[in-house]
Amino acid sequence: MNFDDLKRSWNAHAQSLDTTLQLNRTTATAVLHARAATMLTRLRGWLWGEVAALAALLVWLGSFVVREWGHWPLAASALALHLGCVALMIAAIRQLHMLAGVDHSAPVVRLQRQLEQVAVVRIRTTCGAIVFGVLLWLPALAVALRDMLGADLYSVPDEGVRNWVLANLAFGVIVLLVARWAARRWGGRLDNQSLAGRALRSLGGQELEVARASLRELAEFADEDRAA
């Protein structure tokens, strides 16, 4: 067996396909006109949704900070949330900008690198959003209670309420640490098709490792010195 024999077999296979393979134009036309969203189209839609929601949150939090400026615990809480939202907004806009440059007719190595770079930013943003959600839920609660009910969580004299709040914050941190540990340990077995599976694999670092490995592979593949 040698490569030339196989090349001959391949050519014969190609010729045989040309005679036995038919293009079903009816099915093809149905596919062309189907309203199907690719993964990238869905991601773009999701990111625009994120940007719109974050913009609304930023306006709301900004006006809250101005209103409560004299009351520093509430203003500081809203400011922390504001900064978190700004970071998420920057990450979403960065991903949209990166996706705008994605062209499927670009050379394979370049396009695959672009897609993996988007994946890295996306994974880091998911991790950041999870940590942000767990650590800042208390300021979020304080701001929401103030805005909707006029109540000030920080001035509640009841020790029981304060202890409940602190216990919940501690519980959130513990849940985050346990989830990260469990995701690191068992994340490899999780399904990466579901949203929850991907979020846990992102938290556990498996998703980032896969994307980094792909980027390394692409760099090595394009590196002439390594090919030699």
Partner 1 sequence: MPRRATDSEFLDLLEPQRGALFRIADAYASNREARDDLTQEIVLQLWRAFANYDRDRPFAAWMKRIALNVAISWVRRAYRQARVAPAGQAIFELAADPRPDHSDEMAQLRAAIARLGELERALLLLHLDDHPHDEIAGILGLSTTNVATRLHRIKQRLRQHWRDPDETAP
- One-letter amino acid identity for 9? S
Question: Shortest approach of partner 1 to residue 215 CB, angstroms?
Answer: 11
Residue 82 or 201: the one with the smaller Cβ distance to partner 1 is 201
Enter the DSSP assignment of 159.
H
State the nearest-atom distance from the C-beta of 205 to partner 1, in Å: 17
CB of 37: closest distance to partner 1 in angstroms? 7
Residue numbers of the site for partner 1 (CB under 8 A)?
1-3, 5-7, 9-14, 16-34, 36-40, 103-112, 115, 119, 192-193, 214, 217-218, 221-224, 227-228
- Smaller CB distance to partner 1: residue 26 or 155? 26
Question: What residue type is assigned to position 29 of the chain?
Answer: T
Lookup: tokens for 148: 């909707």
Q: CA separation (Å) from 138 to 20, 162, 176?
A: 66, 11, 15
Residue entry with tokens 């950041």? 128
In the complex with partner 1, the residue whose CB is nearer, 160 or 226, is 226
Contact between 62 and 3 (Cβ < 8 Å): no
Nearer to partner 1, 148 or 195 (CB): 195
Question: How many other C-beta atoms can be found within 10 angstroms of the C-beta atom of residue 166?
Answer: 11
Distance CA 121, CA 35 (A): 28
**Shortest approach of partner 1 to residue 40 CB, angstroms?**
8
